[in-house]
Structure 1
Amino acid sequence: MTLEELVIQQGIDRDIEYAKGLVLDNRAIEDSGMASITLLCLAPYLSLYVYESSKKLRTVDSFQIENLSATVEPIVARSRHSLKLFDDNKRGIEGQLAYFRNEILAPHGAMFRGKNLFTRLLGDDLGIFRYNNRIIGTTHSISFNSGIDSAVLLSLDRTAIKGIYEEYGHYFGALGTRLGVPGETFVRRLDSQAFSPREEDVRSGRYYRKVFDGPGNPDLNALLTFFQGLMNFAELITSNSGVPEYSAFKIRFLTLYQVLTSLHMLRTDQGQTLTARSTKILTSLVEAAETQLLLSRPARSLRNTLTHYNLVQPIDSTRVDVVQPLFGLVPIYFPAHTAESFVALVNGHLAAVAARLDEWSGPM
């Protein structure tokens, strides 16, 4: 096995083992509401593991991987690509705003507010989920991340949705037969008392006019609320006990990277008109020294390896070591950092950006 193949296999093995642990630990949660919300928020990351590992294993591994059904395979792809945010080269900013408006907001509005005059006037079409009183997801963001067409998702019962995610479990299980017993994941360390006792239901039209850039930009505010939930989930839910966990760190790093990339794109997009307050906050986020480091070319290379598993060339392969944290890539890409100091920087900036987004979404 070549070094490249070894890095790919090690990355896949760690993600699949961790995914198995996430699923098993989620099943052990006694609060069914908390378990459901956590699993739905984890969906795009589980999809990332499935989508990227299956692509690589078809080319570098000879054993038969678990095939997904014709129904679930495109769901996995859409769910995985939802994490690109504005960095989706097929949509970009305007395309994502239009998609969110037409494919997420409109179906939810039709389902919960379009049945009769009473529901049109008083119906709530946005559910908000919180942990420690901070947004970790909404019914809109979860719908987008699921990869399931909103009209279909809203018509499915729990059994049908469970069947979709059982295929994920079968995939992980088939690959996991050669792995050790999964260890505890961050799911086991969650505090059930920190979850809101029930979802907070609001009118999306009213809510999105009160947050972030204000009443003149509700479509953008909907996407920024999505970013806010991703960041808070990554910070609050995927935190660990101080021991760097490859796959948990991967979730935090990729979330931070994609949100920062999207905010940078928003800041430089001439087609977006923002309030002075939004411009000031956005500029401070984009121009922070940590952001500049995490949006550098070396960071893009690390992002690509964590996402796609393969090494990004050119690289000094003599310094790559699969037994080292993050395969020894950190000091190669960031000479001023060790793996531990880089993880600490990512965790610190993740918390800072998440807090700034919470602040931005508040009173203007």
Structure 2
Amino acid sequence: MKNICYSLLAALSISLASAAANAAFCPFCDAPSLTLAEQIDQSGHLVLGQWVGGEKATDDSAGSAKFKIVEVAKTKGDVFKVDQEIELPQYIAGKEDGLYLLMGPDTKLIDWHAPTEVTKEAWKYVAEMPPPVTDQKEQIERLAYFLDFLEHPELTVSNDAYGEFAAAPYEVIAPLADRMPREKLRKWVSDPETPVTRMGLYGLLLGLCGKDEDAEAMKHKILHPDSDFRLGIEGAMSGYLIITGEDGLKVLEDSKMKAKTYTDKDGKEEKLPFSETYATMQTLRFMWTYEPDRIPKDRLKQSMRTLLERPELADLVIADLARWKDWGVQEQLMAMYDDEEFDIPSIKRAIIRYMYYCSEDKDKEAEVVPEYAVAAAEHLKALEAKDPKTVRNAKRFLIR
């Protein structure tokens, strides 16, 4: 069982590393590919074409597809016009009178994107969407356009609207709280048919705009796992804490961090999946970074310390406590170093690095060194005396 936990942790850590690499994006969204707006911004031409026929591919040719331009949203140099026919150098089995979104960088049609079939409504969404901007206030207003298209019945539209939020920084998303569709978000969070890839975003949005009754719905969602790994549940947990603060944190501590079991929908007691505890840990990180004024930082430190008892998480917890400059667990870590239950190389290295960073957290100009730094230096010296090889290995990758 322990090996299973470590394997899952490795997978989750890769996911976390990916999220860190895309730190400018929505904290609980899949790393986005190019949105339609970004593709259009890179294109010189955007038109709506009606399929009129084509030549099928042969051994010597990729074939072709002909389109009659119905509408023009963008054309650099006024090259393309309504009723003009264009022929793309690749066959597609289009529908008679079918409408397709066509775009490309220049007049070399071989460089154009593959045609995407759209409805009139989807075309309207694309043609009217605001272009990318760099000013933060303008970004906020621009992102508001896409709120109405989340969970749109057309997948092309809803996927792209989600992608816009996935690509948006949290500081651009949060100011839209008063304009978010609260009741719709609560329904989507509770609906088992909502795509799991969007759950993290919707949970976060509901937290930003939600009320006490929404928190109750989120609490029910959080406390009743329906699978061993719930993608995006950390977004719902974070949204829950945005509404409930310390009271909600106590609920997560009792149900996800201290508890080892949960009661399923049939009243049966089941083992709490490791991923639920890990999601709670990610939630603490989110609150520390993105909502630093919602829950006191000392309270978040206290909560994170609870997870030190978990060997499968301890190395990550120690690293977080070091980043948060929580230097009050030195004696506990020294005891863990010699505890067989925590005799894991990654944990030992994390303890060594913690002691190093603690010993260095001092004012170089001050005459008096803080007591915690003095104690950490002594602990580091003791560890080096009894385990020099591990100390050397740990110091190789220190961020100085």
TM-score band (shorter)?
under 0.3
RCO higher in structure (CA 8 A, sep ≥6): 1
Q: TM-score, normalised by structure 1?
A: 0.24
Higher helix share: 1
Structure whose CA Rg is larger: 2
Q: TM-score, normalised by structure 2?
A: 0.23
Higher strand share: 2
